Amino acid sequence: MPTMADVARSAGVSVATVSHVLNGTRPVLPHTRQAVLDAVDELGYTPNTLARSLVTSRTRSIGLAVSAISNPYFTEILQGVEAAAREEGYGLLIADPHDDPVHEQRVVRLLHERRVDGVIVAPSAHPEDLVAYLTRHAVPTVLLDRAVDTTAGTTPRFDQVCAENADPTARLVTHLAELGHRRIGLVAGLPGLSTTGERINGYRYGLAAAGLPYDERLVVHGDSDAGGAERATARLLSLAAPPTALVSANNAMTIGALRTLRSRGLTVPGDIALCCFDDFAWADLFSPRLTAVAQPSRELGATAVRVLLERLAEPERPARTLRLPCSFVHRTSCGCPEEPEKGTVA
């Protein structure tokens, strides 16, 4: 295989100049740069990233471990991560932990063994083994979307990038209460996830702000997927006094809730109002159009990359948790006839 020295001889320049052209580490005269690129093309030179990583201890690659990659929310996060990594000259290795704590640790270990410079992980509901592995091996890490309490005892904290969850959920509840609803049900996510707990807390805050009592029978877990939400919504509708409005805590569960409502012959918002956490591309194509909280998914992914690169540049800097604001997207599934302008939820 041609080497960097071969490229330098062909272009009539030094090896250092070839390195500067290929790595962008120093300005090079345009005609010299073109000579190097022509030599690279003519010889078919490919940089030896393995050899370079042995010298620099960096592979310029990032590992990303997120479950439900097919979910539009995580797909957009992935797009944000990929775009930000590419802009900084980093490659991306992707794995799906399937929200399984055992598989989660396995895929993160595989990413680490492939010498990624750092990892971005959306942790499972039981990330104890993951946290222990990352801590033991001092892997530069950003926890994404789902926060983990790593402050207890001597366990070090990790950088975390998440959306606001409680206040936006409370906003959905208070909006429904303003429309006259007094029994508002919540289809909550998978128990143990921080997003699930935070959105339940937001639901309770919203009820309290509206002067409504909390009834634990109106909170059911849809386990963050459509099938679970179908069953959870059926349980709510089977109550002696069923809710007149629903809040669904993620986009997949919104689909499940709508399936159950349709199977029961119920219309939205005529028979029951519906608001959801997570906006998605076709939410305004439903009939009725879905009132939702929109998460800044691509920005979450891009921010996670930025925080990870800052961690790599300053390994000793204090860990931090960043919370990005969501937006309230007002449509018609809540029972409102019009669509006011989009507003930001702090």
- Which 3 state secondary structure label does DSSP give 99? coil
Q: How confident is the model at residue 13 (pLDDT cuts 50, 70, 90)?
A: very high
Domain 60-164+297-325 has CATH 1.10.1740.110: no
pLDDT digits (tens, 9 = 90+) for 225-238: 999 999 999 999 99
* Residue whose pair of structure tokens reads 């990659």 in the numeric block: 69
Q: What is the mean pLDDT of residues 15-34?
A: 87
Proportion of the chain in helix, strand, coil states, percent, rounded to 5:
45, 15, 40
Residue-range domain boundaries for the chain = 4-47, 60-164+297-325, 166-295+328-345
CATH class of 166-295+328-345: alpha beta
- Residue 72's pLDDT is 82
- Which 3 state secondary structure label does DSSP give 172? helix
pLDDT digits (tens, 9 = 90+) for 305-331: 999 999 999 999 999 999 999 999 999
pLDDT digits (tens, 9 = 90+) for 37-64: 999 889 888 776 555 554 545 678 999 9
Dist. CA 156–CA 213, nearest whole Å: 39
- Residue 339's pLDDT is 54
What is the homologous superfamily of the domain 4-47 according to CATH?
A: lambda repressor-like DNA-binding domains (1.10.260.40)
- pTM value is 0.81
- Residue 4's pLDDT is 86
Residue 274, pLDDT > 80, answer yes
Angle at alpha carbon of residue 171, lines to 170 and 172, rounded to 5°: 90
- Residue 86's pLDDT is 92
**Could you tell me which residues come within 8 angstroms of residue 45 by beta carbon, excluding any fewer than 6 positions away?**
1, 2, 3, 4, 6, 7, 39
pLDDT digits (tens, 9 = 90+) for 89-126: 899 999 999 989 999 999 999 999 888 999 999 999 99
Domains 4-47 and 60-164+297-325 share a fold: no
